[in-house]
Structure 1
């Protein structure tokens, strides 16, 4: 039985990946900061994963000493480690870059057969500190002695829950023209792609979901899900450019996240299509949850 270490196991994608890896027949070791989270529901209805875990290793990627032997006896490493909406003093560079560097060093020392990393589609072009930290790690991963696979998802259904929340309130605010396109993917579909790609070597996979939408169409799907007539307000691109410098002074962490979403909403983010789950059905399921 092949062994895999899943780092970022209690995050949105990590939970789907733990379940998918176990169901595919892998021995699953998880790296977590808290055992208790394994028995709790995850973000955006990602699964409870305690029953899919064979071994728990408690450690923190930002503390290199806590990772000693985390990869011992492991064939594959999967990492979706990164800051999303977490609060605290840690930066994207601390976690998305240095945290993964610490994990990679341990993977190299233990001689793992593959290191799979979840990046972001178009990370090299987006000016956000979030994507730049991820891109910087990818460059180091490609130079490492460990064979690697980099997966670049366009975006998750869960990222678009904010559009659904706006629809519930009666109006969706879109940046730019609202006509830029993307094909987001459900976490379970992306996890399945990751399972299938584990045996690839030194490969980059750009991954999107089965359907391509404009942001106007995404908003309309959200309004359909909540049973309201679509009301969209299109905020011009120049307005975002005017507000961002002020936000950078007031709240740097929030600034970097807004830069990321601003970039995504004002560019086409479309990759090869995978999966079978559809955003409209996801919105309907989410809208029924109180």
Structure 2
């Protein structure tokens, strides 16, 4: 279903709408008043986006002329945001064919403008000598520029935002390695740009005069090396300064294997990225400012870009990644369709148990947890954790709870705090003990065809290498602690249900006996 927009508003097609940039561009275009058609090879991936009901969603593949032709029908402006980021032997040929198909069908459809987000072209390096990834992006841009449809090509080097492949590689390397032996590309100069600024320029391109047919370099206000970016990330994230030792022995292949070993970024993505990092990614011109005014407040600096990309963790909004309780509010934040390796490390312990307890009895046990009721598993381990927390300067278990039976959002609960409570359904606690990271504990009541279901989820976001070591050091005790909680909470709920049934039967019997006695007296 298309959005309810003014009939004369330009119609815009966004290809790659399920991708990193496309998924963030669509709401920006809607906010600017455009009527948007979103194209994806798998439209079902778009259903979790909050804007899905405000756009027309079509299935299409840019290598297929028929589906591309249908997607471009009645389109004024088309964004080309697809690229075969793969090390496959034929990906350059695939990119080339797709660009030709799209340019041809756009021309036949009468599309007034094409907009493409490509990569930088290093000065003094012939296109044939570039990495396959950069060479293909440059070729796609050239094919579109040489078509009969006026085209704008934006060239960006490193895009900073949670979910961006470049940023995620930076995040994982810096978080996990306080000391690292690195490839020489750590000293290559780049000009990173915040994703919000990329979106500003992409939206602005839609309003350019029809005669504009050229490429523009775009970048943020800082020119730095990758080494500097890692050190600045460490500082913004509150990590100690990293020791970085570049060595000349890393070939592109070895470099991508090294990145694959240290980070969860897939090798098919890591290899083209690391190959491209050998080349300088600095703007050769800044002509874009004469065509599109800068964003309000100016371009986003490096430290601010990094802070925005980390913001969801700082504000405890990590729930947007592992529940559907919230929607990311900024382009720097993750989206439901971002790849699973995006967003930083997130360790999770999930437990589930079906019980014959009533949902109310189960919830009553959950809401009474902590304080004098304890934590329903391995009391010595909880006590020891409380002592350790106090030794480290934390509150330990001495804070207890405000009320023995009822909780409300914001309550302290031993060394936890109630972050969210949906009475009868969900209790989410945020850890306030001393930890090398952020932690949450979620206790839930559900019902399905099996009966009453207790679900429990512990989530830990590590801070630096120490955070990863902490998780794996306590992991062997999870079965005792978290497994014991699952068993004992459901057992307590079952006992509470049985007591309630016994009391109900006893009450019914007493009422029956009373009624019989009254009858005898009347008789």
Normalising by the smaller structure, the TM-score range is 0.7 to 0.9
Q: Specify the alignment match of 2:184 in structure 1.
A: 176
Residues 262 and 35 (structure 1), Cα distance of their counterparts in 2 relative to 1, 3 Å cut: closer
User: What SS class does the counterpart of residue 68 from structure 1 fall into?
Assistant: helix
Instruction: Tell me the distance in 2 between the aligned counterparts of 1:144 and 1:130.
Output: 22
- Please say if residues 77 and 115 of structure 1, whose CA atoms lie closer than 8 Å, have aligned partners that are also in contact: yes
Instruction: Tell me the distance in 2 between the aligned counterparts of 1:245 and 1:261.
Output: 6
Q: Specify the alignment match of 1:209 in structure 2.
A: 220
Deviations along 1:226-257, one digit per CA (max 9) or x if unpaired, are: 4322233333345326847999xxxxx95885
Q: Specify the alignment match of 1:84 in structure 2.
A: 85
- Please say if residues 174 and 232 of structure 1, whose CA atoms lie closer than 8 Å, have aligned partners that are also in contact: no
- Please say if residues 69 and 106 of structure 1, whose CA atoms lie closer than 8 Å, have aligned partners that are also in contact: no
Instruction: Tell me the distance in 2 between the aligned counterparts of 1:125 and 1:49.
Output: 41
- TM normalised by structure 2 equals 0.47
- Please say if residues 61 and 99 of structure 1, whose CA atoms lie closer than 8 Å, have aligned partners that are also in contact: yes
Within 5 Å, give how 1:165-244 maps onto structure 2. 165-171=172-178, 172=180, 174-176=182-184, 178-198=186-206, 199-200=208-209, 201-240=212-251, 243=254
Q: Specify the alignment match of 1:16 in structure 2.
A: 24
- Please say if residues 134 and 276 of structure 2, whose CA atoms lie closer than 8 Å, have aligned partners that are also in contact: no
Asked whether 1:261 is paired with 2:261, we answer no
Instruction: Tell me the distance in 2 between the aligned counterparts of 1:197 and 1:170.
Output: 40
Q: Specify the alignment match of 1:3 in structure 2.
A: 11
**Higher alpha-carbon Rg:** 2
Q: Specify the alignment match of 1:60 in structure 2.
A: 61
Residues 237 and 114 (structure 1), Cα distance of their counterparts in 2 relative to 1, 3 Å cut: farther
User: What SS class does the counterpart of residue 208 from structure 1 fall into?
Assistant: coil
User: What SS class does the counterpart of residue 16 from structure 1 fall into?
Assistant: helix
User: How much is the aligned-residue C-alpha RMSD, in angstroms?
Assistant: 3.1
**Structure 1 regions of 5+ residues with no counterpart?**
42-47, 248-252
Q: Specify the alignment match of 1:139 in structure 2.
A: 142
Q: Specify the alignment match of 2:105 in structure 1.
A: 106
Residues 108 and 122 (structure 1), Cα distance of their counterparts in 2 relative to 1, 3 Å cut: same
**Structure 2 regions of 5+ residues with no counterpart?**
1-8, 259-265, 319-345, 347-523
Larger deviation: 12-21 or 89-98? 89-98
- Please say if residues 97 and 134 of structure 1, whose CA atoms lie closer than 8 Å, have aligned partners that are also in contact: no
Instruction: Tell me the distance in 2 between the aligned counterparts of 1:168 and 1:177.
Output: 19
Alpha-carbon distance, 1:182 to partner: 1.6
Instruction: Tell me the distance in 1 between the aligned counterparts of 2:200 and 2:90.
Output: 30
Alpha-carbon distance, 1:77 to partner: 0.7
Alpha-carbon distance, 1:167 to partner: 2.1
Q: Specify the alignment match of 2:76 in structure 1.
A: 75
User: What SS class does the counterpart of residue 154 from structure 1 fall into?
Assistant: coil
Q: Specify the alignment match of 2:52 in structure 1.
A: 50
- TM normalised by structure 1 equals 0.81
Q: Specify the alignment match of 1:163 in structure 2.
A: 170
Q: Specify the alignment match of 1:45 in structure 2.
A: none
Alpha-carbon distance, 1:280 to partner: 2.7
Alpha-carbon distance, 1:185 to partner: 1.6
Instruction: Tell me the distance in 1 between the aligned counterparts of 2:157 and 2:257.
Output: 28
Deviations along 1:39-83, one digit per CA (max 9) or x if unpaired, are: 336xxxxxx5425x4211211122233223221111111111112
User: What SS class does the counterpart of residue 276 from structure 1 fall into?
Assistant: coil
- Please say if residues 115 and 151 of structure 2, whose CA atoms lie closer than 8 Å, have aligned partners that are also in contact: yes
Residues 143 and 126 (structure 1), Cα distance of their counterparts in 2 relative to 1, 3 Å cut: same
Alpha-carbon distance, 1:132 to partner: 1.8
Instruction: Tell me the distance in 2 between the aligned counterparts of 1:223 and 1:246.
Output: 23
Asked whether 1:36 is paired with 2:59, we answer no
- Please say if residues 107 and 148 of structure 2, whose CA atoms lie closer than 8 Å, have aligned partners that are also in contact: yes
